[in-house]
Amino acid sequence: MESREDVRGQVLDFVFDGKFERYHADLAKLLEDPIFNYQAGLNQSQAGHLTYERSRFVHARIESPLEVLSQPYRLFALAEWPALMDVAAFSVLMVHYNLTLGSFFDHGLDRPGLAPHIKNLNELQHFGPFMATELGYGNNVAALRTTAEYDPATRTFRINTPDVLAQKYMSYSGFSDIQKTAVVMARLKYAGKDHGVYPFAVPLCNEDGMRPGIIASPCPEKPVQGLDNGLTWFDNVQIPAGNALLGQGEYVGEDGQLHLKSNNSRTRFLSSMSRIVPGRLCVASAGLGSARASVYLALKYAGRRLTNFPAQGDAPIIAYRSHHGPLFRALANGVGMTALLNRVKREYVTDTSHVPTKLSALISVVKCAATWEATSIINTCRERCGAQGIFSVNRIADYVSLLQGLVTAEGDNAVLMSTAISQLLGDSSPEAPAKLKAVGHISAGDVPVLLDLIQEHKKVALRNKLRQDEDADFTSLWNSAIEDAIDLGTSMAKSLGSREMVEACTRVRDAQTRQGLEALIKLFGLVEIERSAVFCIANGLLQAADLNAIQRQILECYDLLLTSYEGIIDGFGISEELLRAPLAASNYAVSFTRACGQPEYLYN
């Protein structure tokens, strides 16, 4: 019999791919500091400033940002943990570490002129906003219109906003009392010619506030993430020529000559936006971290909140099928998507300097599938907690708002998923995939095989649809297939996630824990087959009667999980003490009463 600690360690390894102690444990511990206590009654500006303070706190206690950037697993862990206690901290930290300093890391470490900016950002003397999106250029950001025109007389670039649609939008320029150096994406213009989009280092605010020529205002209020997302206009802002973060071997010479490599505009843009690829892994990490925390909170509460059961008296609400069913589905999807993310992170870290197109597209699929799934998980958990689910102090409601940002930022899911699938579609095998085996009694090991076949059939169907009418113009052809492409992306993610779960499960030694995890894998697979049932029946892969067998097996999984779920969430690396959410406390009634400020004598 293994000890509870041993078993917990095995589940931690399963969830965190064996990397919890090395990359996550100290970050989780940091969150116990009182600076992360919930603070009531803050206005938008106070909440935003507190987030910057908390970000400074984290920065001061871990290795430097440049060291974090050199260990991608550490960056991903940083994306995951502070967001659990302050969802806006995800945005501040990840924009600063990954997008902004990361742009210097990728394009400017060896340029002496940039050293003071890198020092300021690395030491967090300055925060670093990343300014790509413009009011009229979001998903179409490649067409952005801010210009950086070279002025040979002064050997500077002049940054300009040509019109209202080209104002930088959503980046963090709303507070001018925090010193900042931004990375601004702009079109490099030299001798009247547009050379494409490059990153430029632009000091935004110093101790005297916003620099002359930069006109910025905070965007209107939005719920929860009280940060300083802003609208920014550049009016002839001069920066030294060396502030252009050009590619390897690209520079403005002493003689004022511009030396660029001839890249097509798409390659140039992707190279300038290189940090978006690890950024998407960070986004997925934050979304799934919050999703797992929501499941943890909702299941803890479900085990303690009593309600009357027909003819039985009081029992915990988890006993109801209508309660544990959705929560166990959420648990299975949260763990399954985490396994998928682990797999793709491993592929990414093998060579961060060269990310093949196919891997980049797969990372996009993972970002979308993970954040969509996390949105659904968090909303389910919110609802299953009743009124307790709507209070910020109980965390889950704040995670709802985090996910609203994550599905849109760093590539809106609908656009990103469909584009990524169009890049991955060519890989499907030309032959028709095999039929599905019978689904009457499936095992955990069958799940990846079944899900793989379903996604292969969907690929073939999508390719056929795109070929159907060769006379049709591409827009109408693509429009007829775009929703299928998004659906295929989800199936692809589920298939890969299930394979990774099965592999990770073989490393779990404790037989009882493995049995619980196998039930979770089976549930993950059955739920995906159920989701794809219309496609499967329409394409002759399943009979309508098979759905009864699927339903029966889903209920069997629920029963198995009722006896094993606690061991699984025990391995999420979180605790009631860390999250400090009254609803998950052992005595939630007292904790909530205290959080409301009722006098102690009532409950002590």
Ligand X SMILES: Cc1cc2nc3c(=O)[nH]c(=O)nc-3n(C[C@H](O)[C@H](O)[C@H](O)COP(=O)(O)OP(=O)(O)OC[C@H]3O[C@@H](n4cnc5c(N)ncnc54)[C@H](O)[C@@H]3O)c2cc1C
Q: Which segment (67-75, 128-136, 239-247, 518-526) binds ligand X by CB under 6 A?
A: 128-136
Q: Which residue has the tokens 């959503």?
A: 170
Are 263 and 345 a contacting pair, CB within 8 Å? no
Query: Binding ligand X by CB under 6 A: which of 30, 84, 93, 132?
Result: 132
47 lies in the site for ligand X, by CB under 6 A:
no
Q: Which is nearer to ligand X, 419 or 564 (CB)?
A: 419
Q: Which is nearer to ligand X, 81 or 90 (CB)?
A: 90
Q: Which segment (114-122, 127-135, 282-290, 536-544) binds ligand X by CB under 6 A?
A: 127-135
Distance CA 364, CA 70 (A): 22
197 lies in the site for ligand X, by CB under 6 A:
no
Site for ligand X in 81-110 (CB under 6 A): 91, 95
Angle between helices 276-304 and 396-408 (to 10 degrees): 160
Closest to 225 in 3D by CA, of 428, 401, 461: 401
Residues touching ligand X: how many (CB under 6 A)? 19
Amino acid at 515: Q
Q: Which is nearer to ligand X, 420 or 550 (CB)?
A: 420
Query: Binding ligand X by CB under 6 A: which of 9, 18, 116, 138?
Result: 138
Q: Which is nearer to ligand X, 66 or 415 (CB)?
A: 415
Would you give the distance in Å from CA 335 to the centre of its chain? 15
Amino acid at 1: M
Pairing of strands 306-309, 313-316: antiparallel
Query: Binding ligand X by CB under 6 A: which of 12, 75, 170, 293?
Result: 170
Interaction mask 262-281, ligand X, x per CB under 6 A: --------------------
Are 216 and 230 a contacting pair, CB within 8 Å? yes
Q: Which is nearer to ligand X, 483 or 503 (CB)?
A: 483
Q: Which segment (126-134, 148-156, 255-263, 359-367) binds ligand X by CB under 6 A?
A: 126-134
Q: Which two tokens stand for residue 101?
A: 């300093």
Q: Which two tokens stand for residue 448?
A: 């990846």
Site for ligand X in 332-371 (CB under 6 A): none
Long-range pairs for 40-47: beta carbons < 8 A, 24 or more residues apart: 40/393, 42/226, 43/226, 44/221, 44/226, 45/175, 45/226, 46/226, 47/88, 47/226
| Reduced DSSP (H G I as helix, E B as strand, rest coil) percent helix, strand, coil of the chain, to 5 | 60, 10, 30
Compute how many other C-beta atoms are within 10 angstroms of the C-beta atom of residue 153. Answer: 6
Closest to 416 in 3D by CA, of 283, 531, 327, 253: 283
Q: Which two tokens stand for residue 295?
A: 């499941």
133 lies in the site for ligand X, by CB under 6 A:
yes
Q: Which is nearer to ligand X, 412 or 577 (CB)?
A: 412
Query: Binding ligand X by CB under 6 A: which of 130, 150, 233, 535?
Result: 130
Q: Which is nearer to ligand X, 10 or 100 (CB)?
A: 100
Q: How far is the CB of 416 from ligand X (least distance, A)?
A: 9
Distance CA 103, CA 198 (A): 10
Site for ligand X in 387-446 (CB under 6 A): 405, 408-409, 412, 414-415
Distance CA 325, CA 321 (A): 5
Q: Which is nearer to ligand X, 80 or 518 (CB)?
A: 80
Pairing of strands 193-206, 209-210: antiparallel
Q: How far is the CB of 181 from ligand X (least distance, A)?
A: 14
Q: Which is nearer to ligand X, 66 or 141 (CB)?
A: 141
Q: How far is the CB of 269 from ligand X (least distance, A)?
A: 14
Distance CA 410, CA 412 (A): 7
Site for ligand X in 215-254 (CB under 6 A): 229
| DSSP structure class, residue 173 | -
Q: Which segment (2-10, 164-172, 176-184, 335-343) binds ligand X by CB under 6 A?
A: 164-172
- Rg of the Cα atoms in the chain: 25
Query: Binding ligand X by CB under 6 A: which of 98, 103, 120, 171?
Result: 171
Q: How far is the CB of 419 from ligand X (least distance, A)?
A: 8
Angle between helices 72-80 and 321-350 (to 10 degrees): 150
- When CB distances to ligand X are compared, the closest residue is 138
Q: Which is nearer to ligand X, 139 or 468 (CB)?
A: 139
Q: Give residues in contact with ligand X (CB under 6 A).
A: 91, 95, 130-133, 138-139, 141, 170-172, 229, 405, 408-409, 412, 414-415
